[in-house]
Amino acid sequence: MQQIRPYKVLLFLVLVLSLLCIPSALISEEGVDWMGIKWRFLPIERVWKAKKQVQKNIEQIVAAVDTSNINDQIKHGDQSSGQVGLPEGGLVDANTTNPLQMSSSAATKLHRFFAALQGAVSDKISIFHYGDSQIEGDRMTGYIRQRIQQQFGGVGPGFIPAYNVYSTLSFKQKVSPNFKRYTAFWPPKMNSRRYGALLSAATFEVNNSTEMPTEAWIEIAPSASAYTRARTYSQVKCYYNSCTAPCSVKIYENDKLIHEDSLINDGEDHVLPLSFGHTPGQLRYVFSSTKSPVFTGFSLDGDVGVSVNNVAMRGSSGHDLSSSEASLFAQMHRDANTKLFILQFGGNSVHTFKDSSGVRGYVMALKNRINYIQKLVPDAAIILIGPSDMSRPNDGVFETYPFLPYTVTYMQKMCAENGVTFWNLYAAMGGINSMPAWVAQGLAGKDYVHFSPKGASIASQYFYEAFVAAYSEWQSEKGGVE
């Protein structure tokens, strides 16, 4: 076999690289379509000089927020007198570098919510935070909840799924192996669409080989890792529907039987409430029936104040907000006295946009879901949080997705036209190409999409500052102080 000399190999490589320099010099960086394939070549200037990673300076952004003292102890005792959840109060700061953006119609709705918020010292109202995986496991919501409840009142993690699958610090939950979870946003789904406000539900599988009732259980307990306000609650409710066969329930606290009952088996939606003079320990609900009802969640809160509820929808772009049966969705929000929706979507769609029409199509679809909520819960205000900065690898460096800035701009426009308040998380982070700096400082994950716990607290504090600044301005302009 003839041996190829090294100099010939070198000459061959030089020839190939030289030939590749021709299209690099002649074809634009965007590439060219040929034979149904997108051909891209490294620009000639990059052959000699590699592209450098942009590192924005976010020191002022990070240093400008104070996330300390979030766990200051609540001031009331643990014996309920009907006032568990009273606020700590204090002055609210009217200053913010990233204010809420609202049209006059959006301001009218938000000010109506502020009036309800002011009355939460003697009443109970709810805020529902719907979002994608950016809020999964109570990330962002948990921090926002603690700040709002400290200032305006309320305790407990609020509504929780009947069957939680996301790791969370806000509560503890276990279910028996025969329970099955369904969601409106990911298979498996229910034909009845009776998910309720949490857009998820659970049923237990029944042993059909016997006529004896099947048992199933759900355990719930406070979490010592939760923010202080979420660790305390005095009211526990179990939400269910579609119960058409006798179903008994026994409820244990720390293995001691404290309540026996039967669920109402008329097929409608119902609530099984319990009230405590203390924060209960481990609660174990043991159900027994020949046919499972549909369980749509539990609520864990106080006697008064604000319930701030996390509804994380992994992989969703918000299209599934209208996937629950309308009457049950509306009924649960009436029961919860929902006065504000916080929606946080877009991150699961930004990477798919190839042109501006894709952005407009997505935002218009989101608008339809917002209109759906406005129709079903007309008294509630809506705040839309735009997507965070997100990065994709491009020629060896991470850069903001091309259509993310336009997505934020078009969301702002849609909100202004539909009576929705908007908050610009992208700008609060530092804008274009800010995510690599957040990753470098441990404030976001290596996926260049999701916040770390520390980063989530900083982003959440910025949102809270914008929220209370709008509240303070309303107080000043409208005489909100009683």
DSSP letter (8 states) at residue 119: G
Rounded alpha-carbon distances, angstroms, from residue 302 to 124, 293, 299, 308, 350: 8, 27, 10, 12, 39
What tokens appear for 277 in the block?
């003079």
Report whether 344 contacts 132 (CB < 8 A): yes
User: What is residue 220's predicted lDDT score, i.e. its pLDDT?
Assistant: 98
Q: What is the CATH number of domain 59-478?
A: 3.40.50.1110
Report pLDDT digits (tens) over 403-419: 999 999 999 999 999 99
Whether residue 321 has pLDDT greater than 80: yes
State how far the Cα of 374 lies from the Cα of 382, in Å rounded to an integer: 8
Lowest mean pLDDT among 205-209, 280-284, 442-446: 205-209
Look at residue 78 and tell me whether its pLDDT is greater than 70: no
β-strand partners of 275: 235
CA atoms within 13 A on the CB side of 308: 28
To which H or E segment does residue 144 belong?
Answer: helix 141-152
Tokens of 156: 């407990």
**Sequential DSSP letters for 362-418:** HHHHHHHHHHHHHHHSTT-EEEEEPPPP-EEEETTEEEE-TTHHHHHHHHHHHHHHT
Summarised one tens digit per residue, pLDDT across range 350-375 is: 999 999 999 999 999 999 999 999 99
- CA 68-71-77 angle, to 5 degrees, is 150
* pLDDT tens digits for range 435-478: 999 999 999 999 999 999 999 999 999 999 999 999 999 998 87
Rounded Cα–Cα distance for residues 290 and 303 (Å): 35
pLDDT score for 387: 96
What's the rounded Cα separation, in Å, for the pair 145 and 53? 36
Distance of alpha carbon 38 from alpha carbon 351, whole angstroms: 18
pTM listed for this prediction: 0.86
Helix, strand, coil tally for the chain in percent (to 5): 35, 25, 40
pLDDT at 74: 41
In the predicted structure, residue 50 carries a pLDDT above the cut 60: no
64: closest CA among 92, 98, 90?
98
pLDDT of residue 470: 96
Tens digit of pLDDT for each residue in 151-188?
999 999 999 999 999 999 899 999 999 999 999 999 99
**pLDDT value, residue 75:** 34
Tell me the average pLDDT of the chain.
89
pLDDT recorded at residue 1 = 55
DSSP string, 166-196: S--SSEEEEE-TTEEEEESSSSS--TT---G
